[in-house]
Structure 1
Amino acid sequence: MNRDVRVAVFRPDDERLASAVELLDSLGADPVADPMLEVRPTGDAPADGEYVILTSKTGVELAAESGWDPKGATVCAIGESTADALRDAGYDVDIVPDEYTSAGLVETLSGEVEGAEVEVARSDHGSAVLTDGLRDAEADVNETTLYRLVRPEGSGDSAALAAEGELDAALFTSSLTVAHFLDAADERGVREEAVEGLNDAVVGAIGDPTRETAESESIEVDVVPEVADFEQLACEVVEEAAPTHHE
């Protein structure tokens, strides 16, 4: 009897990791929970602006906890999960781009933000594609760091498993999860072996920016879902990995 597909998942150690493990269990996979991101709030709240952009559920939760009031601003969410979090927190959402990326939001807003004050509230690792693109559209951009993302102490068991050829799949949900995975492999002295192990496994990236980061580090990416959605990523990766291990 073949073992379940062993899948590494790198979400922060909160309800996101718990729900990811539950999802992978339901798909018949063997989850390897290895949080590569820890959220450290700065205590800052989004500044005022004619447009205010939130880029993550975490950012929304921290903004809401701070008592943030949009004061009539046009509220923009980079994707539906962020938009849902805003609505759940009692905020109206005015703009969600068709493409859930920084480039997609820039494309949606370009042409209407010239000369406007645009506030971008996000983590300390936000893509410059968003802020640079808005400035190119001649917006007056301010960026507020709501939280910092660090690698949790003790993370990296998945890197050791990959190096030993014991990982069947990996789910990268941001460029930073790729960087932190490789940092953990470096710490253990197994970076080259871990990359080789990933390249013998099925690697999923949640979107093109994450895929590009992985490929720039010689990690071959097998799955990028059409929509940047974790559930879709997990389902597609497990489906691709499963035939190797199930009759």
Structure 2
Amino acid sequence: MSKLAFFRPDDDRAAEAAEIVRGLGHEPVSDPMLEVDPTDESPRTDADYTVLTSKTGVELAAEAGWEPSGEVAAIGSPTAEALRSAGYAVDHIPEEFSSTGLVAHLRDAVDGTRVEVARSDHGSPVLTDGLEDAGAYVHETVLYRLVRPAEAGQSAELAAEGELAGVCFTSSLTVEHFLDAADERGIRAEAVTGLNQAVVGAIGDPTAETAEANGIQIDVVPEIAEFEVLAEAVARRL
């Protein structure tokens, strides 16, 4: 079985990803590049619209006892499923699961309203700037920070040795942390060369742009920004 690497946080997301990769006939290489560091903040409760951008954010909001007063928007179906599982109603899901897609979905509704954006410390300004341009009064709450685990980097070593057949990058930050781990080991050039000999997938255009700006060739960008769709697309190319 050929090795396919991914960088999901070391929780049920990594376990689910490994199961998906095995089901596609490849050996999973789980190298978590993101670790959640909660800020103990909670989304505001007085907004007309509250935007959640991740399952992690939903879980932290629910643990804090957050109760929204207005409508709730999820950036994509995984976030929406997490909201519903936690007992929240979901009023808005964009057709395109991205910051750009969410801005386009809400643009005509938010002029003059208060919009709360609750997410990580690495959220794209595309979302907040776009909502402000649409006339909303935007407040952002950082629910958690995303840091690189100290032990991360096995995938960089495998890439440098030419042992990875496929790679799934699920955010710009996973690309950056992969390269940081390679830098620490003094194998960045070798790791990038190894990636460029593999099939590399990016979950969306911003992730692809980050990778390509750092010399990593992207072979696959799925139409739907979900890990399973990304992994299937990489596996098809393999």
TM-score range relative to shorter protein: over 0.9
The Cα of 1:111 is off from its aligned counterpart by 2.0
Q: Is 1:219 paired with 2:216? A: yes
Does structure 2 retain, via aligned residues, the 8 Å contact 1:215–1:221?
yes
Indicate the residue corresponding to 2:61 in structure 1. 63
* TM-score between the two structures when normalised by the length of structure 2: 0.98
Instruction: Give the structure 2 partner of residue 166 of structure 1.
Output: 163
1:46 aligned partner, one-letter code: P
Instruction: Provide Cα deviations, 1:56-98, integer angstroms capped at 9, x if missing partner.
Output: 0110011011000002x11000001111111111100101111
Are 1:53 and 2:51 an aligned pair? yes
Deviations 1:172-216 (A, max 9, x none): 000000000000000000111111110000001111111111111
Deviation at 1:230, TM superposition (A): 0.6
Unaligned runs of 5+ in 2: none
The answer to whether the 8 Å contact 1:163/1:190 transfers is yes
Instruction: Give the match's secondary structure for 1:149.
Output: strand
Secondary structure of 2:4 counterpart: strand
Residue 12 (structure 1) aligns with? 9
SS of the counterpart of 2:9?
Answer: coil
Q: Which residue of 2 aligns with 1:234?
A: 231
Alignment correspondent of 1:206: 203
Measured in 1, the distance between the counterparts of 2:140 and 2:31 equals: 30
Q: Deviations over 1:104-155 (max 9, x none)?
A: 1111111221111100000000001000111111210000000100000110
Figure out how many residues of one structure are paired with residues of the other and give that number. Answer: 237
Aligned equivalent of 2:41: 44
- RMSD value over aligned CA atoms? 0.7
1:79 maps to 76
What is the alpha-carbon distance in structure 2 between the residues aligned to residue 117 and residue 103 of structure 1? Answer: 19
- Does the CA-based 8 Å contact 1:5-1:238 persist in structure 2? no
Amino acid corresponding to residue 27 of structure 2 in structure 1: D
Q: Check the 8 A contact 1:55/1:121 in 2, yes or no.
A: yes
Runs of at least 5 residues in structure 1 that lack an aligned partner in the other structure: 242-247
Could you tell me which amino acid in structure 1 is paired with residue 113 of structure 2? A
Residue 219 of structure 2 aligns to a residue in which SS?
A: coil
Q: Percent identity?
A: 64
